[in-house]
Chains A and B, each alone.
Chain A
Amino acid sequence: GDSVTQMEGPVTLSEEAFLTINCTYTATGYPSLFWYVQYPGEGLQLLLKATKADDKGSNKGFEATYRKETTSFHLEKGSVQVSDSAVYFCALSDRMRRGGADGLTFGKGTHLIIQP
């Protein structure tokens, strides 16, 4: 079945550091890939997505490129801020496997802590 593996946290960085959170996946079909972010006390919010190979999703300075050859969707940001502290989830939607439905398969989440 489908699965998503992302690096375990917590990840602690200083402000303005470069961020990479690794994410790899296995899927039967041709999934769409997502990064969701969960700030303390809030629900998950879509951060960015990519729907086909070589697509790059970007938002709020974060980027991730859909790499079919390495089955990866690593999240990057050039200069993190304290306000980026949150839990980040990598996820996929495999509509082909699910017969058209869009339920998501999530990784375990990575807790990011940015120190001033």
Chain B
Amino acid sequence: GAVVSQHPSRVICKSGTSVKIECRSLDFQATTMFWYRQFPKQSLMLMATSNEGSKATYEQGVEKDKFLINHASLTLSTLTVTSAHPEDSSFYICSAGTSGGNTDTQYFGPGTRLTVL
């Protein structure tokens, strides 16, 4: 089946630093990737939709200058949390939709736990 990986799985950083999270589709090409954020005991909240080779589309309330998304290839998207603060601590999950137009089926990565001290 389709596999999506994320790296790192956990990261702890100091306030004010930037953190990059990678999302890779290992055995398929993903024209569209999605980034979600999950708070404890809450649902996953869509942050942005990323299409290969174009700018990401951010959901209302998500700061695009804070959460930089790059989708440079059909198998890699990165999320950079810039100038991280403790309130950015969360579980970040990516998913990838397969090529062909209909991305109703998404394949999810295992998530990255970010802790900002």
Which residues of B lie under 8 Å from residue A107 when comparing CB positions?
43
Closest to B109 in A: A43
Within the complex, what minimum Cβ distance (angstroms) separates B30 from chain A? 12
- B44 contacts A104, CB within 8 Å? yes
* Residue of B whose beta carbon sits closest to that of A6: B43
Q: How far is the CB of A63 from chain B (nearest CB, A)?
A: 18
- How many of chain B's residues have a CB under 8 angstroms from any CB in A? 26
The reply to whether B93 and A44 form a contact with Cβ atoms under 8 Å apart is yes
- The minimal Cβ–Cβ distance linking B90 to chain A, given in whole angstroms, is 15
Q: Verify A46–B43 contact, CB threshold 8 A.
A: no
B60's closest neighbor in chain A, by CB? A1
A51 B104 Cβ-Cβ under 8 A: yes
Task: Verify if A85 is at the interface (C-beta below 8 Å from B).
Answer: no
B110, A42: Cβ atoms under 8 Å? Answer: yes
Chain B 79-117 per-residue mask, 1 if CB under 8 angstroms from chain A, else 0:
000000000000001010100001111111111000000
> Chain A residues near B93 (CB, 8 Å)?
43-44
User: Cβ of A105 < 8 Å from any Cβ of B?
Assistant: yes
Within 8 Å of chain A (Cβ to Cβ): is B4?
yes
* A89–B59 CB distance below 8 A: no
Q: Are B104 and A106 in contact (CB under 8 A)?
A: no
Chain A residue with Cβ nearest B97 = A102
Partner of B46 from the list A45, A49, A51, A104 (CB cut-off 8 Å) is A104
Task: Give chain B residues whose Cβ lies under 8 Å from the Cβ of A32.
Answer: 104
List A residues at the B interface (Cβ < 8 Å). Answer: 4, 32, 34, 36, 41-46, 49, 51, 89, 93, 98, 101-109
9 tightest CB-CB pairs across the interface, nearest first? Answer: A44-B108, A106-B43, A103-B46, A43-B108, A102-B103, A43-B110, A106-B44, A108-B43, A101-B49
Q: A42-B110, A43-B109, A102-B102 are in contact. List 7 more A-B contacts (CB 8 A).
A: A4-B43, A32-B104, A101-B49, A103-B59, A106-B44, A108-B42, A109-B43
